[in-house]
Structure 1
Amino acid sequence: MNVDYTLYLVTDSTMVPESSTFLKQVEDSINAGATIVQLREKSISTLDFIERAQKVHELTKKKNIPLIINDRIDVALVVDAEGVHVGQDDMPAKLARQLLGPNKIIGVTCSNPSEVQQVCDEDVADYVGIGTVYKTLTKTDTKTPMGTGPIGIRKMLQTLKTRNTNRQPIKCVAIGGINETNVTKVLYQCSIPGQKLDGVAVVSCIMAKEDAYKATVELQEQINGIVPWKKDGMSKFDTFTYNNSHLEIQTQKIQKAGALVHHITNNVVKNFSANVTLAIGASPIMSELAEEYEEFAQKIPNISLVLNLGTPTVEMMQTFIHAITTYNKYGKHVIFDPVAAGATNARLECSRVLLNAGQMSVIKGNVGEISAIFKLTSTYEVAKNEEVLMRGVDSIANLSEESIRNIGYAVSQDFKCVVVITGPTNHVIDAESGSFAQVPGGNKLMGLITGSGCSLGSAIGSFVAAKADSSATENLNLFEAVVGAVTLYNAAGKLVGTKCSAPGAFVPAFVDSLYLKANK
């Protein structure tokens, strides 16, 4: 059977609004574009379940879409439904296959890669429902109550990809907290090369709506939509050699753009970051007032968000998340600095939460920080006796240039962003376009002053907000803008290093040098 899993409606009779009925909600959604329906009833009698299943099956057969019965194989057999869905605590998929025969659809709930691997090994299921993606009120007994996020989904997809190579594929549907506000992002982020989702399963965003038909139409529109931040191009960069003429065009664009860089950063570096932003030609906004973020992102055309993990707190994490989702909503770029992510498990967990919350355009960090983020990728495998990556905020990872580049590529590929790895040589990587650049470092004194690494994010934010590439098009070549920012920043540092021999004198001289280079 050729099954379309694109929009998988899972029913819940407890959510139906007073103005409608259960069957009307299901019928309206089917007529509006639901491609498969799962009847899930946990608290009615067997007789009532069979009666309801028969009525729903009449609706699905009219549209020639499958009816899946949750858990109850007896009900599925009585009404001759097209398939069943079983959870980890329900009847084993192997036994379900024996009872149903070879031609019925069998789906299995999976919450982690090991459960996906078990389904792959058994090789009897037609699809897996993977999740939960986000926290949901309909599933309170999940192993990850806050959701696995896209990071967890990608790890499960990696397991599925290994099995599906050169075999009849097991399909996959994401479930958990998916609705019209995030479905486009889920489909974009929950994919890896060679394996993507076949659909999304939803419950409340249809069953609980006053107008289930309209809700389904809107959901289909979002499924087929384009995430807002993809309006800017990622064209292949290495079709030309980057040089000072490109940088000159880029800095001229910054002077004309009137760009703003919204910083949510740590108190230690705020002043330096603001001065760096001003020296380049953009304007800094230092705001932790969440109530104004919507106005920033919606009304200011040339703005970017620089998010610095620096000094996280429970309250600040909520501010971070609100900022990310707001800037994503309006297609504005987010530059993320996972400060000291490799120093403690708590900081890495903060990074995981933020990376699950939304889409970053650029992730910038030293070798230790990006190596820590690599642990969140779908291809990472835990190694024995892993080396310590960081001492405080400083990287002490000792990796070859090839290893650094491979780690950066994996992070860029999974998180669909430009990655900047700082050090004696700076690596800028965009896996999507296959672009890679190496930028010489600045001066060793930059490692002895507070904020030199963090404020590189300000430079990147300035270039990105100003759409500062060397092209004549309106869309931004994000990769080139990042390369330009890293080039300018380190060139200024190198120039100052020839004149200063101590860190105290370096700071004002660096800001001056940055200003002079950006305003040639």
Structure 2
Amino acid sequence: MAKPTVDYSLYLVTDSGLNHPSRTLLQSVEDSILGGVTLVQLREKDLDTPAFIELARKVHAVTKKHNVPLLINDNLEVALAIDAEGAHVGQDDISCVEARRLLGPNKILGISTGTTEEAQKALADGADYIGIGTCFMTQTKSPKRTLGPIGVRAILEALPAESEMKTVVIGGIKHDNTRRVVTHSAGAHGRIVDGIAVVTGIVGAQDAKVASEQLLSEFKIGHELASKKHQNNIRGTVQDGRASVEDVIKSFPQMLTTLREKSPLTHHISNYVVMNDTANATLALGGSPIMAPSAIEAEDLSKVVSSVVLNIGTLTDSFVDCMYEAGKHANAQSKPVVFDPVGAGATKLREETTRKILNAMHVDIIKGNAGEISTIAKIIGGGDKTETIAMRGVDSMGSGFSNPAAIVQAIARREGAVVAMTGMIDYVSDGFRTVAIENGHAYQGRITGSGCMIASSIASFAAISPNDHFAAAVAGIVALNLAGEHAATRADVHGPGTFRAAFIDEIANLTPQQMLNDARIKTVTV
């Protein structure tokens, strides 16, 4: 008998201990298949072999009825006894080579992997697929570390582009994170995960059929987005429908007018040092801030706010918890998320928090100085080894990148986000359009919170420009940089202290026509 053809899109892994009490395991399996599950793995850690064989025969009868392959977890004796379509083994179980010898060439064989080395060995040892995990924390395992979408992508990129071995991501996969995981799995050579493996999200759901339908839909959407992202990266061209840089600049007056008319509400989880200034800057610009660092109300706020700012300037456990909740709920509500990784490279805690945020949610706009952007580049990986920009506290040190435009463009393409790097010259890219902004004044760098205020400005513009976050980021930076220029020339400004008050005034005084006439923006070709 030839090896069965397998669709890995939605891979159910059973667990009797987590099965919803309203139905039997057999009912869960059948309902999930009716909802779209394409492959089933029977995992029973606590059954002896005879009982496992008996249960496996019953499950196999269900899967065969629907022409869905059944794999047995770890126990090859059971797999052979019921003539299952294959087996899955872990790193601490029988070796992949020995499992293949026992199963023969025509059975499906998968193995769990958590590192690039394990994935490469699985390929060499003849596995048909690998389960990549653990992606997120899960009820079924207590991993020493989680990979997140960034770690999953790194493993995929370690595999040859021409390899036919399939890949499935496992660990904490739910309908609300599936799209991000799959979309961000597309690496430099275009490999995308072939499927998602789900345990609790299906067997623990009240309705396994509906849960499976939702998961499969999210997988397909994510796969389509990942494919489109890769094709755009290959072409290196602007996607259809994106405004040219010239048209973005022409839209500034209307953007500022709309912002002031609508006064969009922005949820700030910000640092205590600048919370008052960022709130006042948002108000002066025409937006409306709410400074709410409680995770408990994040879901409710996500339904009424228009954008979210995540600022890690003063890290506390409660702030971080709120950032995770606010970001994930904003994603669910399709509200733009602006991430300001303040001091990201200064300490291990800040770097790890940045990694967790980028893994936990989709960030629409990343705003940081050269040191913070350097840390982002280090975290997400890919391409040539990037230059490292040192941090002292929250400040970036040194002269910056030798080619800053190339850095922001590369990160933007890899993350599918807009990246804004602030400095003497600011650089913004969505991976296709890249600009240098030459507005601003040195006094902005001599007061606390000017960068945080720019993140708030970007979020306000993103709230009224949901279809073009690049335009929002450019407008947000230009608006505050122009206000900085105007404030510095006032007769009552004698230094950073008087500039700070004047800066807020000039944000409020900024006119739509000034944004159009005074913006100094250059398109950069990388």
Q: Specify if TM > 0.5.
A: yes
Name the structure 2 match of 1:254: 259
Distance 2:187 2:367 in 1: 21
- C-alpha deviation, 1:416, in angstroms: 2.0
What secondary structure, in the 3-state scheme, does the structure 1 residue paired with 2:307 have? strand
Name the structure 1 match of 2:293: 288
Name the structure 2 match of 1:491: 482
C-alpha contact (below 8 Å) 1:429/1:435 kept by paired residues: yes
Stretches of structure 1 that go unaligned for 5 or more consecutive residues are 468-474
Matched AA of 1:437: V
Distance 2:338 2:288 in 1: 16
Name the structure 1 match of 2:497: 504
How many pairs are equivalent?
495
Name the structure 1 match of 2:420: 420
- C-alpha deviation, 1:220, in angstroms: 2.9
Match of 1:218 among 188, 211, 214: 214
Q: TM-score, normalised by structure 2?
A: 0.88
CA offset digits 1:366-397 (Å, max 9, x no partner): 000010111111417779xx856111111014
Name the structure 1 match of 2:350: 347
C-alpha contact (below 8 Å) 1:337/1:363 kept by paired residues: yes
C-alpha contact (below 8 Å) 1:338/1:365 kept by paired residues: yes
Distance 1:265 1:149 in 2: 24
What secondary structure, in the 3-state scheme, does the structure 2 residue paired with 1:150 have? helix
Name the structure 2 match of 1:393: 394
- C-alpha deviation, 1:113, in angstroms: 2.1
Matched AA of 2:196: V
**Matching of residue 190 in structure 1 with residue 185 in structure 2:** yes
Distance 2:291 2:406 in 1: 34
- C-alpha deviation, 1:60, in angstroms: 1.7
Name the structure 2 match of 1:138: 140
Stretches of structure 2 that go unaligned for 5 or more consecutive residues are 227-237, 514-526
Match of 2:171 among 168, 176, 181: 176
C-alpha contact (below 8 Å) 1:234/1:479 kept by paired residues: no
CA offset digits 1:40-72 (Å, max 9, x no partner): 121212122222222222222222221111112
Distance 1:485 1:180 in 2: 33
- C-alpha deviation, 1:174, in angstroms: 0.8
Name the structure 2 match of 1:324: 327
- C-alpha deviation, 1:219, in angstroms: 3.0
Name the structure 2 match of 1:267: 272
What secondary structure, in the 3-state scheme, does the structure 1 residue paired with 2:119 have? helix
Match of 2:93 among 90, 96, 107: 90
C-alpha contact (below 8 Å) 1:280/1:518 kept by paired residues: no
C-alpha contact (below 8 Å) 1:328/1:358 kept by paired residues: yes
Q: Which segment drifts farther, 242-251 or 197-206?
A: 242-251
Distance 1:210 1:451 in 2: 47
- C-alpha deviation, 1:30, in angstroms: 2.0
CA 245–46 in structure 1, closer or farther in 2 if over 3 Å, else same: closer
Matched AA of 1:215: A
Distance 1:201 1:243 in 2: 42
What secondary structure, in the 3-state scheme, does the structure 1 residue paired with 2:380 have? coil
C-alpha contact (below 8 Å) 1:237/1:435 kept by paired residues: no
- C-alpha deviation, 1:246, in angstroms: 2.4
Distance 2:401 2:115 in 1: 32
Distance 2:286 2:355 in 1: 33
CA 371–98 in structure 1, closer or farther in 2 if over 3 Å, else same: same
C-alpha contact (below 8 Å) 2:271/2:313 kept by paired residues: yes
C-alpha contact (below 8 Å) 2:295/2:318 kept by paired residues: no
Structure 1 vs Structure 2: percent identity of aligned residues?
Answer: 41
* Root mean square deviation, CA, Å: 2.5
Distance 1:308 1:368 in 2: 15
C-alpha contact (below 8 Å) 2:284/2:505 kept by paired residues: yes
- C-alpha deviation, 1:123, in angstroms: 4.7
Matched AA of 2:392: R
What secondary structure, in the 3-state scheme, does the structure 1 residue paired with 2:319 have? helix
**Matching of residue 152 in structure 1 with residue 154 in structure 2:** no
- C-alpha deviation, 1:441, in angstroms: 4.1
Report 1:356-505 matches (<5 A). 356-379=359-382, 389-402=390-403, 404-431=404-431, 434-467=432-465, 476-499=467-490, 500=493, 502-505=495-498
What secondary structure, in the 3-state scheme, does the structure 1 residue paired with 2:29 have? helix
Name the structure 2 match of 1:470: none
Match of 2:28 among 25, 29, 34: 25
C-alpha contact (below 8 Å) 2:12/2:197 kept by paired residues: yes
Matched AA of 1:220: L
C-alpha contact (below 8 Å) 2:266/2:290 kept by paired residues: yes
What secondary structure, in the 3-state scheme, does the structure 2 residue paired with 1:195 have? coil
CA 237–204 in structure 1, closer or farther in 2 if over 3 Å, else same: closer
Matched AA of 2:284: A
Matched AA of 2:442: K
CA 476–173 in structure 1, closer or farther in 2 if over 3 Å, else same: same
Matched AA of 1:67: L
C-alpha contact (below 8 Å) 2:299/2:325 kept by paired residues: no
Matched AA of 2:434: F
What secondary structure, in the 3-state scheme, does the structure 1 residue paired with 2:335 have? coil
